[in-house]
Amino acid sequence: GEDVEQSLFLSVREGDSSVINCTYTDSSSTYLYWYKQEPGAGLQLLTYIFSNMDMKQDQRLTVLLNKKDKHLSLRIADTQTGDSAIYFCAERRGNYQLIWGAGTKLIIKP
Amino acid sequence: KAGVTQTPRYLIKTRGQQVTLSCSPISGHRSVSWYQQTPGQGLQFLFEYFSETQRNKGNFPGRFSGRQFSNSRSEMNVSTLELGDSALYLCASSPDGREETQYFGPGTRLLVL
């Protein structure tokens, strides 16, 4: 996962917005993803963005892509305790494999 | 539709043994990918199968192998297990023509003693 970088932890207050950041290295990446993993569970696809898009919004989730800087972010509005999880950023290369970040653990403070 | 299922969910083996893990994709999905997740290395791609053919392979030694059956179910095998093979093995399937979306199973947690 060294090609995709994320902060390991993010702490936010319940009700605030969470912004999780990710940088990637391959400019030819076709899709970029955000996955959520809760303790003891598999990976849940939250959202993804095609590389020719700048932004995608889906309910409380907003994905921003800065292709020039190879920077991807996930904003979670009105963060709830159920949002506590590890969030993985991943990029899809020209073949079918996903390259993953190390994951950002989102901690919600009451 | 039922999600991706993986069996067994937990497994304990000893060094030198071999193990076979199974994955049943979502009905109608022919693409199946396998990943290894460890605390040290994170998530790493193992291989991807489509219609019984391996389409892509990650950087793992030859001890790691896989196959896919005509019903799209897939198995992965690890021979001569090492302590470092202890991990969560995740399987994901994708719908035809929509390989950009992958749906993951709960994983098989393998512990090698």
CB interface of B with A, residues 49-108, below 8 Å = 55-56, 58, 90, 92, 99-107
**Contact across the interface for B104 and A90, Cβ inside 8 Å:** no
Q: Which residues of B touch A58 (CB under 8 A)?
A: none
How many beta-carbon pairs below 8 A join chains A and B? Answer: 53
Residue B18's alpha-carbon distances to A62, B80, B81, B83, in angstroms, are 44, 5, 6, 12
The HSE-up count of residue A68 (CA atoms within 13 Å, CB side) is: 0
Specify the pLDDT at position B74.
98
Q: What is the pLDDT of residues A58-79, one digit of tens each?
A: 999 999 999 999 999 999 999 9
3-state secondary structure at position B80: coil
* Chain-chain contact of B42 with A90 (C-beta, under 8 angstroms): no
Residue B42's pLDDT band (cuts 50, 70, 90)? confident
Q: How many CB atoms lie within 10 A of CB A21?
A: 17
pLDDT more than 70, % of chain A: 95
Judge whether residue B18 has pLDDT over 80: yes
Q: Do the chains contact at A95 and B56, CB–CB below 8 Å?
A: yes
Instruction: Compare all CA atoms of chain A with the CA of B45 and give the residue at the minimum distance.
Output: A97
CB contact (8 A) between residue A45 and residue B103? yes
Residues B85-110: tens digit of each pLDDT: 999 999 999 988 777 788 999 999 99
Rounded Cα distance between A98 and A61, Å, is: 21
Type of residue at B95 = P
- Pick from A72, A51, A41: nearest CA to B105: A41
Segment A22-33 mean pLDDT = 86
Q: How far apart are CA A102 and CA A24, in angstroms?
A: 12
